[in-house]
Structure 1
Amino acid sequence: MNRGAGVGLAAIIAAPLALIFGLLLVVVILDEDSSDAAAAAGSCDLSGQITLVDTSALPGEVAGYSGRQLENAAIIIDVAASRGLSERAAAIAVMTAMRESTLLNLANAGTYTPPASWTGDWAAQRSVAILSVDYPNDGVADGDWDSVGLFQGRPSQGWGGDGEPAEQIQNLLNPTYTAGRFLDALVAVPGWENMLPAVAAQTVQRSAFPDAYTEDWQPALDVVAALVDVEVTRGECGQYPGTVSAGGWVKPVAGASYSSEYGMRINPVTGAFTEHAGSDFAAPAGTPIYAATDGVVVHVSCDRWEGRSPCNVQIDHGLDASGRRIMSLYVHMYPDGVFAQVGQTVSAGDHIAAVGSNGQSTGAHLHFEIWIDGDDVDPMNYLPTVGIAMP
């Protein structure tokens, strides 16, 4: 039932923040002075302090969650309230627990098989994880690594604290403890309030499925609204901030400025006169990059590839009405700003990456390409044909 095991929360809390967050967050912190960037990132008004839940009158079901699941959500919200945190913080925490454990306090049966290339001591980790079946829980899962509890914390990564193994497991099966650890790490992230919810969650959790959290944002808002009577008129938070064209396309970066055109030019880094195979859109580092239209991710690399800088993501959009294969390419992200995975099916407006300045770049921007039957074409000529008006 674990749908995206988090790792390493204790390391995030215990190590000096400058060391932890300096590298990790360079790809997701927004320019404080850029209201356009904040809007593009899906920031929204969820800043009001959360209030305690009336647990004597929990609803029967909200967004498919009921019973013990809503009780656990109430605990998360109450922990946020006890820390004086916002509705947004509570909703991000609820969203994360939805994705990690379906809001259930799960024990770990220890049946996970590590990859053959892994050289750690799995037997020792497993012996700690399976202690969880001996303590009160909401169910026993097969287990993903040694993950335990509501947020699927791993004792081997410090999620359960510094005590003896049994004490760590009891901590991880205590929703108040784990919600507090998650929220403390979340609010220590500079700029978390203006990040997309999925990016904020991923910064703490380091999940193997970083963009999966997005699916749980609206249900989390619904649950928080039902438990503390918050007005949920803000379901667009974390979603593409514009509209999808009649042709099914969106701008790959919302609110960005057009900074360099397609064609032959003097490379600003090397000084050579070479072809520029795409269009550049300047935006602050961390600004969301969206899938331009529906498709399948066919390439993800943080090495140089086909003459392009790292990191690069390519999406195959299939054949158009004329039978031509259309693909899009996104370049210059930092490694921690790439959320797409090869084989992933994406829809127009899905958050696939964050703007960076990696490789041959003089400033934060997205280098965006359109390929038709394997050849790059001018995006500024192509996009209007699918309903996207460009500057």
Structure 2
Amino acid sequence: MAESKNGAVYAIVAVPLLIVGGLFGFVLVGSDDNCGAVAAGGSSVSIDPASVPDTDIAGYGREQLVNAANVIQAGKDLGLNVRDQAIGVMTAMGESSLQNIDYGDWETGGVTNPDGTRTTSIGLFQQQDGWGSREERLDPYIASTKFFQAMIEKVPDRESLEPTIVAHRTQINADPYHYTRYWDGAVQIVEGLTGVKTGLNPGDGSASGGTCAGLLPGDVNAEGWASPAAGPVTSPYGMRTHPIYGTQRLHSGTDLAGGGCDGPIWAAQDGVVTFRGFDGRGNGTISVDHGGGVTTRYLHSYDSGMLVQTGDKVKAGQQIARVGSSGESTGCHLHFEVRVNGENVDPVPFMAEVGIQLGQ
């Protein structure tokens, strides 16, 4: 960490140390049904650091995992949810490789504060003098508590942010994406230590990284969005050879298998139906206006499979149609479009930004 002249504390990215150590044994208090609670930001997991198992998780041994258990327990005791707890573990991985080291950036790389003074980074989170006494910063539980308290204060909107951005805004380090590479390992450690399937998304770098992975298509997440149909994705957004005309055209949406003919189609978010019928190419179409310039469109249902009318108010996750193959279609599927201010955008990254992974 680095400290400015006005006393603000900054984090300097620590070079991860070589992974060493070996382990203890574990105890857990938690629930296997954390998914909905995690999405709502309400559930946490627990692990007694004194009973961490003598094992290896994600390449980390006993000493590191005991430290991770202290991070997890500090988050638990502050009433934080499992996503916050995993962010704490991820941050300590990125700062110290989960080792409670009594030196930091000045000793390893000659790093100085903005005012030229030597950095005083120590402990799991490489915290400088402004975070507390030396004894406090070298106590894994106290250091973790101080990290989480700063996170609560600095990042009140963290549920809508990528885990690495949450860590960055708490630590004020040089690279906002420094911690991304540690997210998968943090999830593995939290789940491995506690024995609880958290529902956190390994490998997800979107703002939903760490939101509930256990939501089924049609289930509404904490941001108020739902997947419109079951997966997989059968044709992505972008230029392609049209399956009927054989020419290169923009495929303006994402095709989802939708569970086959008559599979359910759900509204992606609350809104008002602005069109229900057939477009100029015979595609059964429902358009829903969600406000703020965002509209979603659902294509290829048959007339009997369109379950709402123009003017209807719909809720996220409400079934509005059944999968069909009307119009320019070679088989039953949902063609799902997202329009922002009248312009088509790629639905996959758009939905990822609101916490929904298409194609599950």
Which interval holds the TM-score relative to the shorter structure? 0.3 to 0.5
TM-score by length of 2: 0.46
Over alpha carbons, which structure has the higher Rg? 2
Larger relative contact order (CA 8 Å, sep ≥ 6): 1
Bigger helix fraction = 1
